[in-house]
Amino acid sequence: MAEPTKTTRAALTQGASIESLGAALPYVVYVFDVRSASMLYINRDLSRELGYPPGALDAGFPELFESLMHEEDRGALFGDLGRWEGAADDDILEAEYRLRDGSGQWRWYLSRDCVFERDDAGDVAKILGTALDITERKSLEARLQVSQKLEALGRLAGGIAHDFNNILTAVLGNAELARAALDDREWVADCLDQIRNAAEQASALTRSLLAFARQQVLRPEVLEVRGLLREIQRLLRRLLGEDIELRLELAEDAGAVLLDRSQLTQIVLNLAVNARDAMPQGGVLTIRTTVVEVGEGGDPELPELASGPYLVLAVEDTGVGMDVATLRQIFEPFFSTKPEQRGSGLGLATVYGIVRQCEGTITVRSEVGQGSTFTVYLPRVAELPAPSEESDAVHPAPLAKASVLLVEDAAPVAAVLREVLERAGYRVTLARDGDQARIWLRSADAVDLLIADLILPGCSGIDVAREARERWPDIGILVISGHARDIDDDDLVALRADFMAKPFTPEAMLERVSGLLAHASEAST
């Protein structure tokens, strides 16, 4: 055999260097011949890149290659060579497209191409390009778009709930007042009971809206999740029915979370109801807890989470599963796969709102016929607090003829609250806005209790409360609102003020008023 020439050896060495360099690159590099529509060079085995058997994609290029493309993307790469007409040598043309991999899933790629060689006529003869797998980036972009959409819908839901809660407060109050005056007319009392029940159902709906909008006022406490799940286990079994097996796989060291107890229960129950409805023929529902740590650099798959420890609550069912289109909409309010009248479409949206409000996140994994797994990540509290020793306080009867300044701009609400308070024996002064209330405060001799709506024309209820507290250090303060977006717990603590979310019943308000007046009386003695 003849010795290889110096030129041959150099070519072989150069070729080996190019092959080594190409193999080391984290993306696909190729040279495409326009005239023959063939690949002259590619640094990756496409079959292996896309998860097909070795050599499966070697023949029939580019027809076979484009057959793997999503029908909406075909022609985006090599099928539309007209896009190169008029292209300068330093132009970079980009194309995004989807390819079906060996598992049947769509993977996103970004190609960036440039002119590699021209023929004698100056037309593009060869194209040099790179292809980068951007599937993960596309997934994150889609999640961001969903998150932004939900944020916008959340603002809308919060505004609706605010107005609706004012209406419900008036309905509940008037129903109670009318019923109290008609004890001897049972049929009227029954009608008023139905009004009250309907208002309470509507109130539950607004609570779901506010949870989705992440605008509820919360009273978080340190909750040991394993213990709470054990507490509601019997309720869960009744909820699921006899055809669904409940399995609890709870880590002993999962720890606790800082969350409102009713909302943590609502997360679990809503996810359980969703799983139950996905298993009409029965199945298995598994609830498991674990702990994960998000590092300082964050987790690219969970971009919403800050660094730190998280308690993971997973709810897995063996139900019918969901397709991709359903998964895209699953957390949207009023979206439901159930028949009409079977659901409000707020269950999962409510869970989403609660979880995001406490700075956690929720993910879902599902395939048609393969069941679904919803995974909730909640910031973990390492230490459980020592049990507190609190005595049950007994409040004395309301102070006779106590004076109350009521500040409420919604006329129906103001009328019913004033009537309720005056029937209970309180002396009530009504102000329609914050500025009017502050003027009255500056001329009043004394006020025992301030009840102020949070959002008012002029200055806010907090501003009124602040001025009242400065003038009378022992005054009782109750802030009320149907929309808690602007409430600040720090303000309530600083003002030693209590808070009630609309709608509420007259009984609940009078009980709170009595307690505040009793506390103020004790503080002044």
- As a whole number, mean pLDDT of residues 421-450 equals 92
421's CB contacts (< 8 A; 6+ apart) are 404, 406, 428, 510, 513
Q: What DSSP designation does 398 have? A: P
Check residue 186 and give its pLDDT: 66
Lowest mean pLDDT, pick from 132-146, 230-244, 286-300, 468-482: 132-146
Quickly state the pLDDT bin for 286 (edges 50, 70, 90): very high
Please give the share of the chain, as a percent, with pLDDT higher than 70.
71
Report the mean per-residue pLDDT for the chain.
Answer: 79
Quickly state the pLDDT bin for 397 (edges 50, 70, 90): very low
Check residue 249 and give its pLDDT: 94
Backbone angles phi, psi at 333, to 5 degrees: -65, 145
User: In this structure, are residues 296 and 342 in contact, taking their beta carbons and an 8 Å threshold?
Assistant: no
Q: Answer whether residue 32 shows pLDDT above 70.
A: yes
Check residue 492 and give its pLDDT: 85
Q: Identify which of 430, 448, 432, 416 has the alpha carbon closest to the alpha carbon of residue 514.
A: 448
Q: Identify which of 489, 484, 405 has the alpha carbon closest to the alpha carbon of residue 440.
A: 405
Identify any residues that bridge with 246 across adjacent strands, giving them in sequence order.
285
Q: Answer whether residue 391 shows pLDDT above 50.
A: no
Lowest mean pLDDT, pick from 169-178, 205-214, 228-237, 447-456: 205-214
Check residue 9 and give its pLDDT: 43
Check residue 400 and give its pLDDT: 54
Q: Which residue blocks in 50-134 are alpha helix, DSSP H?
A: 63-67
The model's pLDDT over 15-31, given as tens digits with 9 standing for 90+, comes to 445 555 556 567 788 88
Handedness of CA 337, 342, 345, 349 (dihedral sign): negative
Q: Answer whether residue 202 shows pLDDT above 50.
A: yes
Of residues 110 and 260, the one with the higher pLDDT is 110
Q: What whole-number distance in Å separates Cα of residue 75 and Cα of residue 227?
A: 58
Q: Answer whether residue 166 shows pLDDT above 80.
A: no
Check residue 471 and give its pLDDT: 92
User: In this structure, are residues 335 and 280 in contact, taking their beta carbons and an 8 Å threshold?
Assistant: no
Backbone angles phi, psi at 487, to 5 degrees: -75, 145
Check residue 393 and give its pLDDT: 39
Quickly state the pLDDT bin for 161 (edges 50, 70, 90): low
Check residue 373 and give its pLDDT: 96
Q: Which two tokens stand for residue 457?
A: 């024309």
Quickly state the pLDDT bin for 389 (edges 50, 70, 90): very low
Of residues 283 and 263, the one with the higher pLDDT is 283
Check residue 321 and give its pLDDT: 92
Backbone angles phi, psi at 47, to 5 degrees: -60, -45
Check residue 3 and give its pLDDT: 42
Quickly state the pLDDT bin for 158 (edges 50, 70, 90): low
Angle between helices 411-423 and 506-524 (to 10 degrees): 60
Q: What whole-number distance in Å separates Cα of residue 348 and Cα of residue 271?
A: 7
Of residues 393 and 269, the one with the higher pLDDT is 269
Q: Which two tokens stand for residue 459?
A: 């200055």
Of residues 170 and 236, the one with the higher pLDDT is 236
Q: Is 494 helix (H, G, I), strand (E, B) or coil?
A: helix
User: In this structure, are residues 346 and 332 in contact, taking their beta carbons and an 8 Å threshold?
Assistant: no
User: In this structure, are residues 65 and 57 in contact, taking their beta carbons and an 8 Å threshold?
Assistant: yes
- As a whole number, mean pLDDT of residues 283-303 equals 90
Q: Answer whether residue 243 shows pLDDT above 70.
A: yes
